């Protein structure tokens, strides 16, 4: 995997790393108002990247990466959502230019979990088709302001997660049936928005590449019983194929559509949507992978009230895989080979080049003697990179590898207790300190790995 044809990168997301709440015209996002448990850090300061940006890019240069996968903060680019915010645009211009100046390709994602809270208040956010138009306006502002220099783009990060997580999208319906209906409607609107954004992208960034960032689901049946095999196929359709089939082919898997119709949850569509969904295809697929999933059939009398899409409904539920090592934060188990298995399946189905956009190990790292000895993370990254090498050796198109994450960032519900970074950020959930950057052993290991491959 040489320098010319492979991106060695690292990843972050805006709301988890930037901070700078209320600074430079930034509007209020869903991620700014969600309920964070007492004693857990929120995203208002996060890793303070807003004030450490140039230092962080210098650390990227020292690391030797040639790709930075990040996200635009919708509310930094668009304030409260309706008008471009020049200060926010200038912040990202500075970031992009600094990266390019260091030989680092900027690879932004348009939508990574946060959106203007004003839209949720005004019209229910993604519940309304109005949100589709607002997203396309925002995407267009990004394409026009950054597309002259930025040629690699992500559309939506992990549609599975953002459709399901009420505190990210504002779906706080109390009636379970209505909540499910809204969730599938929101997801449909996201898919339509993605396609319309790709249509505008083709007009504005003619020499660029764009695609979704998928939360890859590698689904194993708990046993070879036909019931468990069918449950695992259903899980694949509900947890991954429904999103990727829509991104690639503009339609849902038949089994998924059938189920939604049966439940009365199939989203409202318009006849003119079909052409838009079918005719705007992506160029690449971003792959987020942490672990595989084990699935079994639901047993008689088992509670199915905790409905999808998180790994359980009437058609499937979580099983247990005894073949994998599990840790506190990696409760599904560590499965490097799953990365290869999953990417192979996605390539054979969709025939598009991929790029690993997230892959990492969560751990409650401890700073000792001025550094972090994270051999466990080195082992995890090494094993997963080997599967990428295997994938490329077999002739599959993999454009790059970006571990999650460049530096410690605020985790959705675990704050700074759960760390993924190659760089330690010296703060706790309750004491921000100076957010000093301290490269971990894994940083120096990855630096060496990149050098060996250049």
Classify strands 293-296 and 317-318 as parallel, antiparallel or unpaired: antiparallel
Q: What 3-state class would DSSP assign to 438? A: strand
Sorting pLDDT into bands at 50, 70 and 90, what band is 312?
low
Instruction: Point out the residues that are catalytic.
Output: 358
- Say whether pLDDT at 309 is over 70: no
How much is the pLDDT for 310? Answer: 57
The half-sphere exposure of 271 on its side-chain side, counting CA atoms within 13 A, is 0
Q: Are the C-beta atoms of residues 130 and 190 closer than 8 Å to each other? A: no
Helices (H), 64-175: 74-77, 86-101, 117-123, 130-146, 159-164, 166-169
* Arithmetic mean of pLDDT, 342-365: 97
- Determine the average pLDDT of the residues in 440-451: 98
pTM reported for the whole predicted model: 0.96
Q: Is 419 inside a domain boundary?
A: yes
Q: Tell me, yes or no, whether 445 lies in a domain.
A: yes
What number is the average pLDDT over the span 82-106?
98
On whether residue 158 sits in a domain, the answer given is yes
Q: Report the alpha-carbon distance of residue 81 to residue 25 in Å, rounded.
A: 11
- Provide φ and ψ at 415, rounded to 5°: 55, -130
Q: Name the pLDDT band for 176 (thresholds 50, 70, 90).
A: confident
**Predicted pLDDT at 2:** 46
Whether the Cβ atoms of residue 430 and residue 36 lie closer than 8 Å to each other = no
Residue given tokens 């991954």 in the structure block: 240
With respect to residue 233, please indicate whether it lies within any of the assigned structural domains.
no
Cβ neighbours for 252, distance < 8 A, ≥ 6 positions apart: 242, 245, 246, 260
- Please say whether the beta carbons of 221 and 296 come within 8 A: yes
How far is 15 from 47, CA to CA, in rounded Å?
10
Output the pLDDT for position 4.
Answer: 60
Q: CA 345, CA 286: separation in Å to the nearest integer? A: 14
Name the DSSP letter for residue 363.
B
List the domain range (segments joined by +) for residue 404: 7-217+239-289+334-452
Distance (Å, whole) CA 13 – CA 102: 20
Residue 308 has pLDDT above 70, yes or no: no
Residues 393-404 have pLDDT tens digits of: 999 999 999 999
Q: What is the per-residue pLDDT across 200-248, written as a single tens digit (0 to 9) for each?
A: 999 999 999 999 999 999 999 999 999 999 999 999 999 999 999 999 9
Is the pLDDT assigned to residue 138 strictly greater than 80? yes
Please indicate, yes or no, if residue 203 is contained in any of the structural domains.
Answer: yes
Residues 6 or more apart in contact with residue 270 via CB below 8 angstroms: none
Q: What is the CA radius of gyration of the chain?
A: 21
What letter does residue 404 receive in the DSSP assignment?
A: B
403 to 318, 379, 385: CA distances (angstroms): 26, 13, 10
The answer to whether residue 323 is domain-embedded is no
Q: Using CA atoms in the order 144, 150, 151, 156, what is the torsion angle rounded to 10 degrees?
A: -80
Alpha-carbon span 271 to 54, nearest angstrom: 48
pLDDT for 419 beyond 90: yes
**pLDDT at residue 116 tops 60:** yes
Confidence grade of residue 413 (pLDDT, cut at 50, 70, 90) = confident
Give a yes or no: residue 16 inside a domain. yes
Q: How many secondary structure helices (H) and strands (E) does the chain include?
A: 17, 13
Is residue 412 pLDDT above 80, yes or no?
no
Q: Is the pLDDT of residue 3 over 50?
A: no
pLDDT(344) > 90: yes
CATH code of the domain covering residue 162:
3.20.20.80
What does the alpha-carbon distance between residue 386 and residue 354 come to, in Å, rounded to a whole number? 16
Q: Residue 355, Cα to own-chain centre: how many angstroms?
A: 12
On average, the pLDDT of the chain sits at 95
**Once rounded to an integer, what is the mean pLDDT over residues 139-168?**
96
pLDDT at 26 over 60: yes
Q: What b-and-e string marks burial along 17-44, b requiring 16 or more CB atoms within 10 Å of the CB?
A: bbbbbeeebbbbbbbbebebeeebbbbb
Q: How many domains does the chain have?
A: 1
- Count of beta carbons in the 10 Å neighbourhood of residue 129: 17
Q: What is the largest CA-CA distance in the chain?
A: 64
Q: Could you tell me if residue 415 is left (phi over 0), alpha (psi between -120 and 50 degrees) or otherwise beta?
A: left
How far apart are the C-alpha atoms of 141 and 1, rounded to whole Å?
Answer: 35
Let me know if residue 209 belongs to a domain. Answer: yes
Contacts of 38 by beta carbon, 8 Å cutoff, 6+ apart: none
Q: Residues 111, 123: contact at Cβ < 8 Å?
A: no
Residue 304, pLDDT above cutoff 80:
no
271-288 pLDDT, tens digit per residue, is: 999 999 999 999 999 999
| 314 Cβ contact list (under 8 Å, min separation 6) | 298, 304
């Amino acid at each position: 995997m040489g320098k010319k044809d492979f991106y060695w990168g690292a990843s972050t997301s805006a709301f988890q790393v930037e901070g700078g709440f209320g600074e430079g015209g930034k509007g209020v996002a869903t991620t700014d108002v969600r309920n964070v448990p007492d004693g857990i850090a929120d995203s208002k300061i996060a890793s303070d990247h807003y004030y450490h940006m140039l230092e962080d890019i210098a650390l990227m240069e020292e690391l030797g990466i040639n790709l930075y996968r990040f996200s635009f903060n919708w509310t930094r680019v668009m304030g409260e959502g309706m008008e471009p915010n020049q200060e926010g645009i200038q912040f990202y211009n500075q970031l992009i230019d600094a990266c390019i100046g260091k030989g680092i390709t900027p690879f932004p994602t348009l939508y990574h979990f946060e959106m203007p809270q004003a839209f949720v208040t005004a019209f229910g956010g993604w519940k309304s088709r109005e949100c589709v138009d607002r997203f396309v306006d925002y995407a267009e502002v990004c394409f026009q302001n950054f597309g002259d220099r930025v040629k690699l783009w992500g559309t939506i990060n992990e549609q599975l997660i953002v459709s399901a997580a009420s505190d990210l999208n504002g779906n706080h319906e109390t009636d379970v049936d209505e909540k499910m209906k809204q969730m599938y409607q929101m997801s449909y609107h996201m898919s339509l928005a993605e396609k319309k954004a790709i249509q505008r992208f083709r007009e504005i960034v003619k020499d660029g590449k764009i695609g979704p960032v998928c939360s890859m689901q590698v689904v194993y049946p708990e046993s070879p019983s036909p019931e468990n095999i069918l449950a695992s196929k259903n899980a694949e359709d509900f947890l991954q194929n429904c999103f990727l089939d829509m991104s690639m082919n503009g339609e849902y898997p038949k089994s998924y559509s059938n189920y939604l119709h049966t439940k009365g949850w199939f989203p409202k569509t318009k006849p003119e949507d079909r052409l838009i969904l079918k005719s705007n295809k992506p160029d690449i697929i971003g792959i987020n992978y942490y672990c595989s999933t084990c699935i079994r059939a639901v047993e008689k009398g088992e509670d199915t009230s905790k409905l999808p899409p998180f790994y359980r409904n009437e058609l499937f539920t979580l099983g247990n895989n005894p073949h994998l090592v599990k840790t506190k934060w990696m409760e599904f188990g560590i499965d490097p080979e799953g990365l290869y298995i999953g990417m192979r399946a996605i390539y054979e189905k969709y025939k598009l080049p991929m790029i690993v956009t997230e892959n990492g190990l969560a751990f409650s790292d401890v700073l000792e003697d001025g550094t972090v000895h994270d051999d466990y993370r080195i082992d995890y990254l090494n094993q997963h990179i080997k599967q990428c090498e295997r994938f490329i050796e077999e002739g599959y198109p993999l454009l790059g590898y970006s571990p999650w994450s460049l530096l410690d960032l605020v985790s959705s519900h675990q704050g700074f207790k759960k760390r993924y970074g190659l760089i330690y950020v010296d703060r706790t959930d309750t004491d921000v300190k100076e957010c000093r950057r301290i490269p971990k052993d894994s940083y120096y290991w990855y630096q060496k790995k990149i050098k060996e491959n250049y």
